Amino acid sequence: MISLESYRDIVGDDVISYLHQLADLLRGRRVVHVNSTKVGGGVAEILQRLVPLMQQLGIDADWKVIKGNDDFFKFTKSMHNALQGNRLHIPKPLFENYEETNRENAELLKDELKEADIVFIHDPQPASLIDFFPKRKGKWIWRCHIDISKPQRSIWKYLRQYVVKYDASIFSTVSFAQPIPHPLYIIPPSIDPLSDKNRELDDEYVLRTYKEFGINVDSPIILQISRFDRFKDPIGVIYAYKLLKKPVPALQLVLAGGMADDDPEGQIVYNEVRSVAEEDKDIHILLLPPEANLTVNALQRGADIILQKSIKEGFGLTVTEAMWKAKPVIGGNVGGIKIQITDHHTGFLVDTPEGAALRIRYLLYHKFKKEEMGRKAKEFVRRNFLITRHLRDYLTLMISLLYFAKDRIEL
Ligand code: UDP
């Protein structure tokens, strides 16, 4: 386990001392996080790192994962898509199955959740758990990781009936916040600079990783790492690449991704991507297992240009991960990506494949500028998006709910 002390060199003494001071007020408190997948996606990524650090600070922290059948995850994925703005009709039995699944999970988790001082419920999948704990002891917080700025109203209305029962909600950016009659907190996610996904790697490891996938490191490489999900726009990335293939014939595209346990659409999108890529030998579609953290790290370090061309994005940890490796990212001009990339300064925000192609070309031909932007990007992450800042925000929030409770809007 990585000790909190190891972060001193990266974030400084003051940050570590402050975390200890805050945690003293929470020593021995029972804190439970609940989400719907142990692996895959940003939420699991964060909880894997955050929960052990809370424990090191003397907090009795735990992480539970709810279980569900195929229909449950089909429903929650549809709900996720509708909350992010797609118009969908979801059949009534799927709503009933969602409620029933959370009832079963409530039964399984009843001892942990009833007595907890603080419960963090992540995203819509477990949101209706709260209905089954009318006599809860602690404060319950709904932590929303997705972009619900323009939801399909009927689905938001359905979810909102549960959300209003919580003591507080957390959103990643101000633009996602919805009118809810309880305190709203704005806490962006974070990355762990010492995890296998982000720690320093030697050049030889990076080169070997690319070689093992049969990718030529002497020719330019564009990379996007994402679950196979339409909101990540892998097809748009392929179009951007194709626009550049004529002027830059040596260009290679790497689309690397895996599947999350709670995402039933991954395989379909993966097949679509393969078919749009056709037989182009310079497009490398890599299906990565969930534990491929060092591989992701090496791919990010070795790429010339990193894209995250999402068309909806709650935050996009992959953007911060790449920026931490001193890469300017070309990101979709949406959601949480907008608070990470300062356009033209630490990367570029784009709306179309054409825009992405233009910026890729610019960075390929302006190496000095690319390095300068990369350095600024890394510094921006150090100040804003490391796990120590995230931990501080959560500790402050817990203290405010347990001790002062009222009238706090933002950390
Ligand atoms: N990730 C990974 N392997 C993959 C695809 C993604 O480890 O094949 C990681 C990625 O590095 C990041 C997280 O999963 O840490 C994805 O988080 P993000 O916020 O970018 O997107 P989400 O999947 O939560 O929508």
From the alpha carbon of 145, which atom of ligand 1 is closest?
Answer: 24
Residues 96 and 173 in one domain: yes
Residues 345 and 311 in one domain: yes
Q: 299 in ligand 1 pocket by Cβ < 6 Å?
A: no
- How much is the pLDDT for 123? 97
- How much is the pLDDT for 410? 44
250 found inside a domain: yes
User: Can you give the CATH number for the domain in which 312 is found?
Assistant: 3.40.50.2000
Provide the residue type at 156 as one letter: W
410 found inside a domain: no
Measured in angstroms, how far is the CA atom of residue 92 from the centroid of ligand 1?
A: 31
Domain count, the chain: 2
C-alpha distance from residue 132 to each of 34, 103, 109, 216, 328 (Å): 14, 7, 11, 55, 46
Residues 136 and 41 in one domain: yes
Q: Distance between CA 36 and CA 64 in Å, rounded?
A: 8
Q: What secondary structure does DSSP assign to 334-399, as a single string?
A: STTHHHH--BTTTEEEESSHHHHHHHHHHHHH-HHHHHHHHHHHHHHHHHHSBHHHHHHHHHHHHH
196 found inside a domain: no
**76-94 pLDDT per residue, tens:** 999 999 999 999 999 999 9
Residues 234 and 334 in one domain: yes
Residues 254 and 276 in one domain: yes
Q: Distance between CA 47 and CA 62 in Å, rounded?
A: 10
- How much is the pLDDT for 405? 54
Q: Which residues of the chain have pLDDT under 50?
A: 409-411
197 found inside a domain: no
Q: Distance between CA 338 and CA 327 in Å, rounded?
A: 16
Residues 41 and 156 in one domain: yes
Residues 380 and 390 in one domain: no
Residues 176 and 211 in one domain: no
Residues 238 and 185 in one domain: no
Residues 182 and 267 in one domain: no
**105-157 pLDDT per residue, tens:** 999 999 999 999 999 999 999 999 999 999 999 999 999 999 999 999 999 99
Q: 105 in ligand 1 pocket by Cβ < 6 Å?
A: no
- How much is the pLDDT for 409? 42
Residues 52 and 183 in one domain: yes
User: Residue 108 sits in which domain range?
Assistant: 4-190+386-402
- How much is the pLDDT for 290? 87
Residues 207 and 122 in one domain: no
From the alpha carbon of 226, which atom of ligand 1 is closest?
Answer: 5
Question: What string of H, E and C letters represents the secondary structure of 78-101?
Answer: HHHHHHCCCCCCCCHHHHHHHHHH
